Amino acid sequence: MAISRGGGRLSLAEKNVRLRLESLRQQRSEYEVNLYMTQERRARIVQAIQDNRITAMAYRTAKFSPIQWLPKEILLLIFEHACAAVDTIKFPIQPEDDDHYFTPYLLASICKYWRDLSIASSILWVRLSRNTTPCLYSFRLGFFPRLPLLTLQERAFSTGPTSLRVCLAGNNSHPQEGSFAHNSVDLNDPAFSAVRSLSIYNDGSYRVSQNLPRDFHHLQINHIAIRKSEYWSMFKVNRKHVRTLWLQAYPFLHSIQAACLHFDYVPEMVFQDCGFMLKAGGSQSAPICYAQSVELSECDNAHALFEAFAFPNLKSFALTNASRSHTNSREICLPPDALENMCPQLEKLRLEDVVMTDAVLLDILRCAKGLKRLSIIDARELYPYRPTLTEFLLVELQEGLCPHLESIELVFNPDYGVDVELLMEMLEGRAWAGSLRAVVIGFRDGVEMEARAIARLRALRSTGVTASLW
């Protein structure tokens, strides 16, 4: 049988054959795709099996390998991190921090190999301390059965310590032990030539050792930390080398001023746990007034410091851990006159864990027209309980407040109710304006940022801004 259409003839058998061929071609294409996907899966499985074999081999090798097989450089790097992890404060001035110095001793007492390795290292021993407290010295003697400390100290000191700590601690119950002759230090020894930091601590006793080292004039002391000490006048240092002065637990302004009078010029001042009581009134020519960097940590009455002293050269101001002070329910306020004096040259402002209203922060930002770096970490208001990063503050920043701002770090508690959408709009606006160079945002306590905020943060990078999460 044949069918005629349009003058042509096409048999039914031929038509069926062509349809069958077309169906077979489609099946072949599907089979080829499935074969390709199967081969891809097989290749991934083979690679995963190979990776697992390598990983398992590495685990088996590491499990049964002695630690001595590690290269000395890797062991020393581990030792260095172990010693650094316990000392995160620039100046170790807390009494309990003395335990940090024993980390190299503990490492060296594990075995002979570790002892020889640690003694030969100059990295682990740069923060040795000499202390005049008898109990601490006897505690060190307890290491003698396992480790010859005297030899270890001589070898360690020969590499040159960079930090010394002097404790003005007496022993009123045992007056016969007051000389501490066994713990006297010869600072003229060349081994001390590398010392750059000096920490002085007073435990409150009025009896000071006669053999206490006092003349540090020949050393290039760059950083000095003083805690609860009214005996600073008995120490001699080369004042022209001092770059940082750290005062802790000074409750009165007049005592702070007295301590600063021993220096001609100190660029960096750090006040920790200071009360700033009894306004000193006065002396605007004191060395403290010429500081370029001031940090207040765990301090009460911050406004009293700025009422007593002017800081016309201030370029960096940090206010940290104010909520841990004794009056943590008090909001921080700075007098308007102080802002006019401290802010003209201010380039860096850092607020961390403070109680401050957005109005006070706005006063600072409006006066600091040349501000380049702003860091606000967990700043909040007290009444009503809300973040310092209010909508009003964010709008002010979006409209061009602090036009020279190059770096912004904003970290806040997710429960405070910060308008993240408005925050990102502000950052994007400043980024497109061209001045912003670096942005860091995040939530406190490790809470993950919203996905949409992360996406907006990624978009900031297209403008050339270094954007990252806290």
Decide: 420 and 451 in contact? Cβ < 8 Å.
no
For 267-303, the pLDDT digits (tens) are 888 888 877 765 545 555 567 788 888 888 887 777 7
* Model pLDDT, residue 144: 32
Above 70 in pLDDT, residue 112? yes
Instruction: Indicate the average pLDDT of the chain.
Output: 70
* Model pLDDT, residue 133: 42
Per-residue pLDDT band for 354 (boundaries 50, 70, 90) equals confident
Q: What Cα–Cα distance (Å) separates residue 1 from each residue in 7, 12, 13, 18?
A: 16, 8, 9, 17
Q: By mean pLDDT, which of 193-207, 216-230, 282-296 is the weakest?
A: 193-207
Per-residue pLDDT band for 195 (boundaries 50, 70, 90) equals confident
Above 70 in pLDDT, residue 115? yes
Decide: 223 and 246 in contact? Cβ < 8 Å.
yes
Q: Model pTM?
A: 0.63
Decide: 350 and 375 in contact? Cβ < 8 Å.
yes
Structural domain spans, the chain:
15-65, 68-172+183-242
* Model pLDDT, residue 358: 82
- The predicted model gives 195-218 an average pLDDT of 65
- The predicted model gives 78-86 an average pLDDT of 69
* Model pLDDT, residue 151: 40
> Across the strands, what pairs with 409?
375, 440
Which pair of structure tokens corresponds to residue 64? Answer: 């049964």
Decide: 227 and 93 in contact? Cβ < 8 Å.
yes
* Model pLDDT, residue 459: 79
Per-residue pLDDT band for 48 (boundaries 50, 70, 90) equals confident
**Bridge pairing between strands 407-412 and 373-377:** parallel
Residues 6+ apart with CB under 8 A from 281: 308
Q: What Cα–Cα distance (Å) separates residue 157 from each residue in 79, 191, 292?
A: 18, 6, 34
Q: What Cα–Cα distance (Å) separates residue 25 from each residue in 29, 75, 413?
A: 6, 65, 63
- The predicted model gives 187-192 an average pLDDT of 68
* Model pLDDT, residue 466: 80
Per-residue pLDDT band for 182 (boundaries 50, 70, 90) equals very low
Q: By mean pLDDT, which of 53-67, 205-219, 258-272 is the weakest?
A: 53-67
Per-residue pLDDT band for 180 (boundaries 50, 70, 90) equals very low
